[in-house]
Amino acid sequence: MRAADRGQRRASYQQARSRETKHALVQAAVALWRAHGYAGTTVADICRAAGVSKGLFYFHFPRKEDVLLEVGVLSTRTAQRETQALLTKPYEVFAVVDAVLAGLERSMRRNPPELIIETIMEGYRYEHRVLAGEQEADPSLSPIFTELFARARTDGKLPAHVDTAHLAQVVQSLVSEGARHWAAGVYGDRRFADVVGTDIRALIAGIAGSGPAA
């Protein structure tokens, strides 16, 4: 039993070290990208900043682009946690949407536009690989508002006929494209949260008012 316990502790320790190494690589990469740009940062630069070998880098990330995907995963998880926290108390659908969009905008403002655009484009390439059967889907990258819309339909805040999974997917597209356009300067002085929030309101109003499909 003691040997088994030691083995379990060793495995847990190794898993924790692995997570720490992966986190350190992501943190180092983001810091370098903010300072020097995505294109101007190499895998060797990231490894030096994180204090790890290239072998460890490629153990966690087969390509430099996979770090971008991990950044997208972390951003999505943060938004999902914020949504879940808001659903623990009385809520209104659009108030939750607005709060989460505002949080995303604050996060984006800390990063250069190039990094935002590259992260979104890598997310699109990931979706293409999943659809082509070249890669397993990561459940962490499910649409941000999936839980919100499903809960809202259950609570009568969305009509029963609304396909909430499809709605969440379409809204996710609005969020991704909105972030890309905002980073590219398409919106000028307008806030990301305002523009995308207005689009989401119009979409939901149209779906909710259309009635069930014949």
153-194 pLDDT per residue, tens: 999 999 999 999 999 999 999 999 999 999 999 999 999 999
Nearest-10 Cα torsion for 15, 84, 96, 67: 10
In angstroms, the CA 85 to CA 75 distance is 16
Q: How far is CA 132 from CA 62, 69, 81, 137, 166, in A?
A: 19, 17, 30, 11, 20
Q: How many residues does the chain have?
A: 214
**Do residues 196 and 175 touch, judged by C-beta distance below 8 A?**
yes
The angle at the Cα of 173, spanning 171 to 176, to the nearest 5 degrees, equals 115
Start-end of CATH 1.10.357.10 domains in the chain:
63-214
CATH architecture of 63-214: Orthogonal Bundle (1.10)
Each residue's pLDDT expressed in tens, for the chain with a length of 214 residues: 555 455 454 444 355 467 899 999 999 999 999 999 998 999 999 999 999 999 999 999 999 999 999 999 899 999 999 999 999 999 999 999 999 999 999 999 999 999 999 999 999 999 999 999 998 888 777 899 999 999 999 999 999 999 999 999 999 999 999 999 999 999 999 999 999 999 999 999 999 887 665 4
Helix, strand or coil, per DSSP, at residue 161: coil
In angstroms, the CA 59 to CA 53 distance is 10
Question: Of 70, 91, 69, nearest to 19 (Cα)?
Answer: 70
Question: Of 123, 121, 101, 106, nearest to 184 (Cα)?
Answer: 121
Provide the residue type at 185 as one letter: G
Start-end of CATH 1.10.10.60 domains in the chain:
1-62
The pLDDT assigned to 208 comes to: 85
Q: Judge residue 139's burial from the number of C-beta atoms within 10 Å of its C-beta, 0-12 exposed, 13-18 middle, 19 or more buried.
A: exposed
pTM of the model: 0.85
Q: Does domain 1-62 bear CATH number 1.10.10.10?
A: no
The pLDDT assigned to 10 comes to: 47
